[in-house]
Amino acid sequence: MGKKYFGTDGIRGQVGRSPITPEFVMRLGYAAGRVLASADRHLAKDKRPTVLIGKDTRISGYMLESALQAGLCAAGVNVRLTGPMPTPAIAYLTRALRAQAGIVISASHNPFEDNGIKFFSSLGTKLPDEVEHQIEAELDKAMEVMPSVALGQVKRIDDAAGRYVEFCKSTFPNDLDLRGLKIVLDCANGATYHVAPPVFHELGAKVITIANHPDGLNINADSGTTHPQQLCKAVVEHQADLGIAFDGDGDRVMMVDAAGNLLDGDQLLYIIAKHRHQQGTLVGGVAGTLMTNLALEHQFNHMQITFERAKVGDRYVRELLVKNHWQLGGENSGHILCLDKHTSGDGIIAALQVLAALNAQNQTLLEAGQALKLYPQVLINLPVKQRIDLAKNEAVQAVVKKAEQSLNGNGRILLRASGTELKLRVMVEGVDGKLVSQLADEIAEVVAKEAK
């Protein structure tokens, strides 16, 4: 059964338009509170469920935070506020503070005009589909405010940032440090602006920060994982050893080597996996997604590392890892999961894992990045007014079949609808870059025509 509001990563949209309005978010808080209250009947009568709320640096976060806590309190749920914090920090703190759920107000890598609501379970994982269905069912019911004596209370957690900084540092090997490294951090004017610099500095690195002055409107603007050009330039200008870019809510990471070359999630995943494989600490195989570059799959096959693809979305990567009892997986967008370190994808922790691998092997990022040459891959995002069934559209399938014949087994084609935006994505990859680009344009032209 499909969901009305929840997508692959919570509920997201443009602020002021349904569903990202104060009224809806208040009702959402109430609905989530009612579901949590009913699930926590084992608690003593004088104890109420507690929910953690964090947010990124968007100006709309203040408004939506107030609406959320109003709805939760009306349902009899206590609220703990962290202020601006990375999404993975809320996953960690929810678990560490024994809260019944965590909520993040963020639209991740989207522009500041958008916002969204993400939920974490008490275990620090994304909510199961059945719980999201229960919340949506409660949304259809009228709000009935609890009696005043049973209303939830709101408190602020003053040491949230410090707790998370220490947690991130604890995932780095005790016998290693970052002394001698000059690192440029691009915080995307987002939630990592006040936690990422101390993590790397306290581990010994000389840290230079860019895009770490959020004003509510500049999150992800010409910075971060979606716009890494400034980081590439800054690394070269400062003669740094490497650069690290996060997205607005800190669950994605990309890195830049000393020559200014960008390494995406696939390349970083390879560095981590290769090190663990050589050390004999890789548990099982590695999980990727339908978007993972074919070169990485071929390299893993050559190394006799089992590799499987999940649907696009870090929640699906995690589901595959849990199913197979594996620990390592990720997406080329920069979501990297190390389940032996954290329950969710975490940009800071993933970067530390890459640095630990480089340190242990006495390699630079420039040297490590040259070990995997990605195949040319073209991704075209088509804004559309309506989604079409790409698998059943005859014109689309005809042009795809023709393109597959041209690739002759030396590439892949993937068409899919975005789970967070009203866009259709066309991806073509293969050994021949010129052919890949040509085929992507041809397919995109047909898809755009059919989706009018």
384/448 Cα distance (integer angstroms): 8
CB 118 within 8 A of CB 42: no
Predicted confidence at residue 32, as pLDDT, reads 96
Whether the upstream peptide bond of residue 383 has omega within 30° of 0, thus cis, is no
Q: State yes or no: pLDDT of 199 exceeds 80.
A: yes
Percent of the chain whose predicted confidence (pLDDT) is above 70: 98
Residues marked active site are found at: 108
Q: What is the model's pLDDT at position 172?
A: 98
Separation of alpha carbons 62 and 70, rounded Å: 12
pLDDT higher than 90, residue 420: no
What pLDDT shows up at residue 442?
96
Strands (E), 157-219: 182-186, 206-210
Predicted pLDDT of residue 389: 87
What domains lie within the chain, and their CATH numbers?
A: 11-158 (3.40.120.10), 163-260 (3.40.120.10), 263-369 (3.40.120.10), 377-450 (3.30.310.50)
Measured over the CA atoms of residue 298, residue 301, residue 303 and residue 309, the dihedral's sign is positive
Say if residues 50 and 33 touch (Cβ distance below 8 Å).
no
Tens of pLDDT, residues 27-44:
999 999 999 888 765 555
46: confidence class by pLDDT, cuts 50, 70, 90:
low
Contact between 182 and 239 under an 8 Å Cβ cutoff? The reply is: yes
The DSSP call for residue 422 is S
Residues in CB range of 245: below 8 A, 6 or more apart: 186, 188, 223, 224, 225, 228, 231, 253, 254, 255, 256
Q: Which of 420, 421, 414 is nearest to 384 (CA)?
A: 421
- Is residue 18 within 8 Å of residue 44, measured between CB atoms? no
Instruction: Give pLDDT, residue 320.
Output: 98
Tens of pLDDT, residue by residue over 343-366, are 999 999 999 999 999 999 999 999
Q: What would the pLDDT profile of 160-186 be if each residue is shown by its tens digit? A: 999 999 999 999 999 999 999 999 999
Inform me whether the pLDDT recorded for 385 exceeds 90: no
Average of per-residue pLDDT across 11-38: 95
Cross-sheet strand order for the sheet of 253-257: 206-210, 182-186, 242-246, 253-257, 262-263
Mean pLDDT of 298-313: 95
Residue 91 has pLDDT above 80, yes or no: yes
pLDDT mean over 286-292: 96
Reported as a pLDDT band with limits 50, 70 and 90, residue 388 is: confident
- What pLDDT, on a 0 to 100 scale, did the predictor assign at position 308? 98
d(CA 266, CA 335): 9
Task: Give the whole-angstrom CA distance, residue 76 versus residue 36.
Answer: 10
- What is the arithmetic mean of pLDDT over 239-264? 98
Residue 421 has pLDDT above 80, yes or no: no
- CA dist list (Å): 314 to 91, 151, 223, 387: 14, 35, 22, 22
pLDDT at site 349? 98
pLDDT of residue 135: 96
Q: Note whether 48 and 35 are within 8 A (CB).
A: no
Q: What is the pLDDT of residue 178?
A: 97
Neighbours of 321 (CB within 10 A): 24
Helical packing angle, 347-361 and 265-279, nearest 10°: 50
* Beta strand spans in 350-391 (E): 377-383
Question: What distances in angstroms separate CA 208 from CA 89, 181, 235, 302, 412, one per listed residue?
Answer: 22, 11, 9, 38, 39
Q: Mean pLDDT across the chain, nearest whole number? A: 94
Determine whether 242 is exposed, middle or buried from the number of CB atoms within 10 Å of its CB (0-12, 13-18, 19+): buried
**pLDDT, average across residues 67-72:** 98
Tell me how far apart the alpha carbons of residues 47 and 357 are, in angstroms, rounded to a whole number: 45
Contact criterion met (CB below 8 Å) for 103 and 51: yes
Q: For the residues 411-435, what does the mean pLDDT come to?
A: 89
| Contact (CB, 8 A) for 351 and 330 | no
Separation between Cα atoms, residue 307 and residue 296, nearest integer Å: 9
Give 107-154 pLDDT, tens digit per residue. Answer: 999 999 999 999 999 999 998 889 999 999 999 999 999 999 999 999
